[in-house]
Every structure is written in structure tokens, then in C-alpha cells.
């Protein structure tokens, strides 16, 4: 009787493969994209001195001039840098690829994922490294992983400062997965959730408890090992927590924590994204390049509060 190995030759499956993709990028949920027509330009800042909120006498005597008042307008600039990566698909790779391998799609997705990861890392570094964002570093029993801490009270205590800074209530709480995992099982949270459907809070339930519109749970990871070494995986957003006001849509005369300016009319792009392919006959290969033009800027640092080392 023939052995199994004699009647079957191993081939690659066409409906299953193994891949690793980043989950839950949040960069453009915190920094809403602002489509711009030119690669560089300026935007106006209205009434930075908050004259609109100053009490001013408006009484006018008969025949007298009304009290003349005004406000200042300043500006800041943006520059959408070119973020691009490319890959080569040799003819040998394309011709020898099994059906489960799709060289054009696989390389395009890989390049796009890398650019998105870089954007995520850049925004996290921009926020965490900016001294103008009010922050505190939690230690010991103040960390939200300690059962004696009170995450809800900690968040509530910072809302007033944000309202005073930008005249808008914070609506977004960012809990990176290591923080989310500890907070949702925190005794104080569980106690408040015991009369709800689940003991361990979902993002919607936590949003209700913290009285914000949404709780974002970034799960994006980065490999910090050198090429060729065993992967060293870290969370992009670490173990920090962020409370912020993010406008529901971009618009005129409104405060925002951060914006992502995107050159929407970049040559050959679709809303600022470019995917190009071309032939390199001398290399006997096809080339793929993915590009994205953007500039992420802190607009109103006062619109956020940061807890560093929120959990142990």
C-alpha cells in the first residue's frame, strides 16, 4: 500500500496564507485630515487672545460713538512632505508565484502599511514629546493598574482645564491596549458596570462611564529590532493615556488638538495618495511606489491632557 507521501506532493494552498498586519491605527482619528490644494500654505488663527470672551462695556450715550473693539488674526504654516516607499517585483518572482501569492497587491499593501505605521509613530512622538501639552507621570498607587486608583476621577479632574483652554469639552479618550486591558477590569470600573450587560467594559460602555463621545483603543505595534534579528514588538502608543477634544469635522473658526494636512491635489494622486507602477527593462522587473503627502501639526496643545505611564 503506497504511503501518503507517495501519492501527494505538497503544494501551496490558494485560500490560506499567513500574514501580520497592524490593527487599529488611530492617527487620522486624532488628527483629522485637512485636504489642501497646495503642498505648502498658511492657515489663520482667529482671536488667540480670546477677546471674544472678555466683558466689554457696550453702553452708548445718545449722540456718542459706540465702543470700538476688535480682534487679532495670526497665522501658521504647513508643508506636506512626501512620504514614499517602493518595491521591486522581478519577472522571476511574478512567473514563479503560486496562486496564493499576488505580487502587485501584496507589495502595494505592504508599502501602504509601512507608510501608515510611520504616520502613527510620528504622531505619537509628536504628542508624547511636546512639552506644551499638560501631562503628569503616574507612579505607584496613582497608576490605573492599581486597584486603589480612580481612573474616572482622574479623567474628570482634567476636563475643566481643557474647556477653559479651547472652550470645548473633551470628547475623545485614547487608551492604548495595555491601558484599556487594565482599565476595563479595574475594580472601580467593574463596580459601576455590574448593573450593565457585561462586567468588562466595551469601548462604548467606557465612553459612557468617562462621559466622552468615544474611547479609542490603538493596537498598532512596531518592531524595534534591527533587520535580521528576532522581532522586538512594542506598542506604538505605549502605556500612556490621552484625553482630547477632536472636532467632529474640519471647518472654519474652530479649535482642534491636531490636524493632518494632506495635499489632496498632488500630481497623480487620489486625495493625496499615489500608487505608481512602471517597468524597469534593464532590471527585468516591475516597480511599485506608494506615496502620501501630509503634515501633522499640533494646533491647540491646550485641547489635550496626557497621562504618562498610566499603568505599570
3-class DSSP string for 168-203: CCCCEEECCHHHHHHHCCCHHHHHHHCCCCCCCCCH
Per-residue pLDDT tens digits for 197-236: 554 578 999 999 999 999 999 999 999 999 999 999 999 9
| CB distance 304 to 242 below 8 Å | yes
The predicted structure's pLDDT at residue 49: 74
pLDDT 10s per residue in the chain (312 long)?
444 444 344 444 344 334 455 657 999 999 999 999 999 999 888 777 777 777 888 888 898 888 888 878 888 899 999 999 999 999 999 888 888 888 888 999 999 999 999 999 999 999 999 999 999 999 999 999 999 999 999 999 999 999 999 999 999 999 999 999 999 999 989 888 776 655 457 899 999 999 999 999 999 999 999 999 999 999 999 999 999 999 998 888 888 999 999 999 999 888 889 999 999 999 999 999 999 999 999 999 999 999 999 999
Would residue 55 count as lying in a domain?
Answer: no
pLDDT at 269: 86
Cell 475623545 belongs to residue: 172
> What is the reported pLDDT for 100?
80
In a domain? residue 213:
yes
Predicted TM-score (pTM) of the model is: 0.85
**pLDDT at residue 197, as a whole number:** 58
How many residues does this entry show for the chain? 312
- In-domain check, residue 56: no
Residue 13 lies in a domain: no
State how beta strands 241-244 and 233-235 pair.
Answer: unpaired
Quote the domain boundaries for residue 196.
Answer: 21-47+72-308
CATH of the domain at 155: 3.90.1690.10
Q: How many Å apart are CA 40 and CA 262, to the nearest integer? A: 10
Residue 257, domain member (yes or no)? yes
CA distance 114 to 108: 10
List all residues 6 or more positions away from 262 whose beta carbon is below 8 Å from its beta carbon: 33, 34, 35, 36, 80, 271, 272, 292, 293, 294
pLDDT at 23: 59
Total number of domains constituting the chain: 1
In a domain, 8, yes or no: no
Amino acid at each position: 500500500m503506497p504511503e501518503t507521501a507517495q501519492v501527494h506532493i505538497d503544494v501551496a494552498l490558494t485560500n490560506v496564507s499567513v500574514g501580520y498586519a497592524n490593527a487599529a491605527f488611530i492617527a487620522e482619528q486624532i488628527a483629522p485630515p485637512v485636504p489642501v490644494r497646495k503642498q505648502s500654505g498658511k492657515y489663520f488663527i482667529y482671536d488667540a487672545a480670546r477677546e471674544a470672551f472678555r466683558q466689554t462695556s457696550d453702553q452708548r450715550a445718545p449722540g456718542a460713538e459706540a465702543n470700538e473693539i476688535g480682534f487679532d488674526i495670526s497665522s501658521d504654516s504647513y508643508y506636506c512632505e512626501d512620504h514614499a516607499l517602493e518595491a521591486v517585483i522581478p519577472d522571476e518572482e511574478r512567473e514563479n508565484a503560486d496562486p496564493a501569492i499576488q505580487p502587485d497587491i501584496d507589495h502595494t499593501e505592504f508599502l501602504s502599511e509601512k507608510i501608515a505605521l510611520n504616520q502613527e509613530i510620528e504622531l505619537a512622538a509628536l504628542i508624547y514629546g511636546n512639552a506644551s501639552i499638560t501631562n503628569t507621570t503616574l507612579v505607584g498607587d496613582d497608576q490605573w493598574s492599581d486597584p486603589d486608583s480612580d481612573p474616572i476621577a482622574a479623567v474628570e479632574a482634567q476636563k475643566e482645564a481643557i474647556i477653559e483652554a479651547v472652550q470645548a469639552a473633551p470628547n475623545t479618550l485614547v487608551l492604548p491596549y495595555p491601558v484599556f486591558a487594565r482599565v476595563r477590569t479595574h475594580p472601580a470600573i467593574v463596580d459601576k458596570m455590574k448593573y450593565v450587560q457585561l462586567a468588562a467594559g466595551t469601548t462604548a460602555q467606557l465612553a459612557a462611564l468617562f462621559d466622552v463621545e468615544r474611547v479609542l483603543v490603538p493596537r498598532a505595534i512596531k518592531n524595534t529590532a534591527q533587520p535580521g534579528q528576532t522581532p522586538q514588538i512594542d506598542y506604538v502608543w505605549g502605556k500612556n493615556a490621552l484625553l482630547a477634544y477632536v472636532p467632529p469635522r474640519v471647518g472654519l473658526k474652530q479649535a482642534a488638538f491636531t490636524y493632518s494636512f494632506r495635499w489632496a491635489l498632488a500630481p497623480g494622486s487620489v486625495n493625496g495618495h499615489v500608487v505608481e507602477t512602471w517597468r524597469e527593462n534593464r532590471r527585468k522587473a516591475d516597480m511599485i511606489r506608494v506615496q502620501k503627502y501630509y503634515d501633522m501639526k499640533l494646533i491647540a496643545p491646550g485641547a489635550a491632557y496626557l497621562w504618562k505611564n498610566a499603568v505599570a
